[in-house]
Amino acid sequence: MKFIVCENHSHLAEVISDLIIQQVMSKPDSVICIPTGGTPIPAYQRLIEKSKNIDYSRVSFFNLDEYIGLPPTHEQSYQNFLKKHVLDPLGIALSQQHLLRSDSPDPILECLRNDAEIDYFGGFDLMLDGIGENGHIAFNEPSDHFEARTHIADISTSTRLANARFFDSLDEVPHQAISVGFEDIIKAKHLILMATGSRKASVIERLVTESTISCDFPISFLRMHPNVTLVLDKAACGRSIDVLINTGQSL
């Protein structure tokens, strides 16, 4: 696992946007899976500003996850979020946007459709992901098992509480979501995880200090991934900051 420690959230936005551009320049037909949440927003803004001369016409974009039951026009529908914050400003054609639907009449079919599309494109070249405060990735929540592929997930109370800041009230936060599974995460050729702020410090400390892999701490699964880059700001490093800085880019 490689670590990049950034001064602050703005610095992280520079690093993440540069990594995405490097990916697209080195493989113009890249298949990229991207996240929502507060963490990536500044990176998406920088990406848009830096992309005037970047050709995205052959890049395919997928999303990591999506709430079930929100209208697609809802501010917090992840499809709507990604279109607004990154895909439409970058000029990504609809045919290149492979997004989960929050209003699918049959979420199980929507999962199968997503798996078929991922398979058609041969999996992800780059997956970018945030980290939940309880160690979830996408909507793979702490559980007694790992899900391999796109699936319907029950959103934990702690995640609903964490995400309630984006809604008018906790009651509005959906109880279920669709999420990619660990098979597609582990097969991504490069996985970039990002975290900012002291709210993420305890999960990062646990990731750095423990060595087990367990489904009650989903992010621990990534210890098995051969090419993970964890991009953190100093606040997210918490008490592990000396270890992370002293070991430079890798641990």
- By annotation, the residues acting in catalysis are 65, 134, 136, 141
The amino acid at residue 141 is: E
C-beta closer to ligand GLP: residue 54 or 103? 103
Verify binding: residue 38, ligand GLP, rule CB under 6 A: yes
Between CA 177 and CA 66 the distance in angstroms is 6
Report the alpha-carbon distance of residue 231 to residue 4 in Å, rounded.
5
Indicate whether 127 belongs to the interface with ligand GLP (CB under 6 A). Answer: no
Written as six digits, the tokens of 18 are 């540069």
Alpha carbon 31 to chain centroid, angstroms: 14
Size of the site for ligand GLP (CB under 6 A): 15
Member of 17, 23, 30, 39 binding ligand GLP (CB under 6 A): 39
What is the distance between the alpha carbons of residues 132 and 200, in angstroms, rounded to a whole number?
A: 8
The b/e string for 43-77 (b: 16+ C-beta within 10 A; e otherwise) is bbbbbbeebeeeebeebbbbbbbbbbebeeebebb
**Does residue 132 bind ligand GLP (CB under 6 A)?**
yes
Segment contacting ligand GLP by CB under 6 A, of 92-100, 131-139, 217-225, 242-250: 131-139
Name the segment binding ligand GLP (CB under 6 A); options: 37-45, 47-55, 209-217, 235-243.
37-45
- The footprint of ligand GLP on residues 49-88 (CB under 6 A) is 64-65
107 touching ligand GLP, by CB under 6 A: no
Q: Which is nearer to ligand GLP, 56 or 85 (CB)?
A: 85
Classified as helix, coil or strand, 179 is strand
**Out of 9, 16, 37, 233, the residue judged to bind ligand GLP by CB under 6 A:** 37
Sign of the dihedral through C-alpha 241, 247, 250, 251? negative
Tell me if 203 sits within 8 A of 195, measured CB to CB: yes
Give residues in contact with ligand GLP (CB under 6 A): 35-39, 64-65, 129-132, 138-139, 159, 163
